[in-house]
């Protein structure tokens, strides 16, 4: 049985956002059963967990003694077992991987830059000065993304892939930055998928059950 780690508790603003959601979603799309290993506060810093995840983050993926961390790597690993995430056609597979990496490298850091200012430093003078520039840079990336998406349902056309899974979760981080109607509709389309709905409900359910 696949096991993924997740936090037992996070602040309310982070619920439905913690990155184990991405792995849960991928597993739901692939039709692979899993269970969760819930971490209490502080468990992520214990030596036995740091031996598996050197940065003390979630999730880790465990199966038959194999352990993986980093959501992009885990989603790609799951995708190797499911055409729902990575098509068999080599070109389409490469493009799905391309968009997954673009989500994590070209888009997420700039959205997170703004999100961290808003969550932690909005009252600091430097945060007030930095936010407009950070938001403008993030918007430039989102403008490029919207142009690439165009009027297509998904980033590579008609078919949802692992690239869409990662990109849509990145766009959910700070919805107010996502102003282009095409990107808004894209996020709604992706998150309306039954697999996302099951994954989201499961994460919230773990928080609820642990309360």
Q: What values do phi and psi take at 139, rounded to 5?
A: -65, -35
H helices present in the chain, as ranges:
20-30, 47-50, 71-79, 90-102, 108-120, 125-149, 162-171, 181-191, 194-210
Please list the pLDDT of the chain residue by residue as tens digits (211 residues).
999 999 999 999 999 999 999 999 999 999 999 999 999 999 999 999 999 999 999 999 999 999 999 999 999 999 999 999 999 999 999 999 999 999 999 999 999 999 999 999 999 999 999 999 999 999 999 999 999 999 999 999 999 999 999 999 999 999 999 999 999 999 999 999 999 999 999 999 999 998 8
- Calculate the alpha carbon distances from 22 to 3, 7, 58, 123, 210 in Å: 14, 14, 11, 31, 20
Please indicate, yes or no, whether residues 80 and 96 belong to a single structural domain of this protein.
no
**CATH number (domain holding residue 110):** 1.20.1050.10
Please indicate, yes or no, whether residues 161 and 202 belong to a single structural domain of this protein.
no
- Domain of residue 22, residue span: 2-84+195-210
Q: How far is 88 from 139, CA to CA, in rounded Å? A: 33
Number of CB atoms found within 10 A of residue 24's CB: 25
Please indicate, yes or no, whether residues 133 and 113 belong to a single structural domain of this protein.
yes
Please indicate, yes or no, whether residues 78 and 54 belong to a single structural domain of this protein.
yes
**CATH number (domain holding residue 201):** 3.40.30.10
Please indicate, yes or no, whether residues 187 and 199 belong to a single structural domain of this protein.
no
Closest CA to 75 of 97, 98, 91, 47: 97
Half-sphere exposure of 53 (CA within 13 A, CB side): 22
Q: For residue range 34-57, what is the model confidence (pLDDT) as tens digits?
A: 999 999 999 999 999 999 999 999
Q: What values do phi and psi take at 6, rounded to 5?
A: -155, 160
Domain count, the chain: 2
Tell me the two tokens of residue 160. Answer: 């949802």
- Calculate the alpha carbon distances from 134 to 102, 112, 138, 147, 190 in Å: 18, 10, 6, 20, 26
Please indicate, yes or no, whether residues 184 and 202 belong to a single structural domain of this protein.
no
Please indicate, yes or no, whether residues 64 and 158 belong to a single structural domain of this protein.
no
Please indicate, yes or no, whether residues 28 and 74 belong to a single structural domain of this protein.
yes
Closest CA to 22 of 105, 92, 103, 142: 103
Q: Which neighbouring-strand residues pair with 47?
A: none
Q: What values do phi and psi take at 156, rounded to 5?
A: -110, 20
Please indicate, yes or no, whether residues 71 and 50 belong to a single structural domain of this protein.
yes
Q: For residue range 107-144, what is the model confidence (pLDDT) as tens digits?
A: 999 999 999 999 999 999 999 999 999 999 999 999 99
Closest CA to 186 of 170, 201, 204: 170
Please indicate, yes or no, whether residues 60 and 121 belong to a single structural domain of this protein.
no
Please indicate, yes or no, whether residues 56 and 124 belong to a single structural domain of this protein.
no
For the entire predicted model, the pTM comes to 0.96
Please indicate, yes or no, whether residues 69 and 157 belong to a single structural domain of this protein.
no
């Amino acid at each position: 049985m696949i096991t993924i780690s997740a936090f037992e508790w996070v602040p309310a603003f982070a619920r439905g956002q913690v990155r184990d959601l991405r792995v849960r979603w991928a597993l739901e799309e692939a039709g692979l059963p899993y269970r969760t290993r819930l971490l209490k506060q502080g468990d992520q810093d214990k030596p036995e967990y740091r031996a598996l995840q050197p940065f003390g983050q979630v999730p880790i993926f465990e199966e038959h003694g194999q352990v993986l961390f980093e959501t992009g790597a885990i989603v790609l690993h799951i995708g190797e077992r499911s055409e729902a995430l990575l098509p068999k056609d080599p070109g389409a597979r490469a493009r799905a991987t391309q968009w997954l990496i673009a989500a994590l490298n070209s888009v997420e850091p700039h959205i997170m830059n703004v999100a961290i200012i808003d969550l932690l430093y909005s009252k600091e003078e430097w945060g007030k000065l930095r936010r407009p520039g950070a938001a403008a840079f993030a918007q430039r990336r989102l403008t490029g993304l919207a142009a690439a998406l165009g009027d297509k349902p998904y980033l590579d056309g008609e078919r949802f892939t692992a690239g869409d899974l990662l990109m849509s979760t990145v766009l959910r981080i700070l919805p107010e930055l996502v102003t282009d109607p095409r990107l808004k509709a894209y996020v709604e389309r992706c998150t309306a998928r039954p697999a996302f709905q099951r994954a989201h409900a499961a994460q919230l359910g773990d928080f609820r059950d642990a309360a």
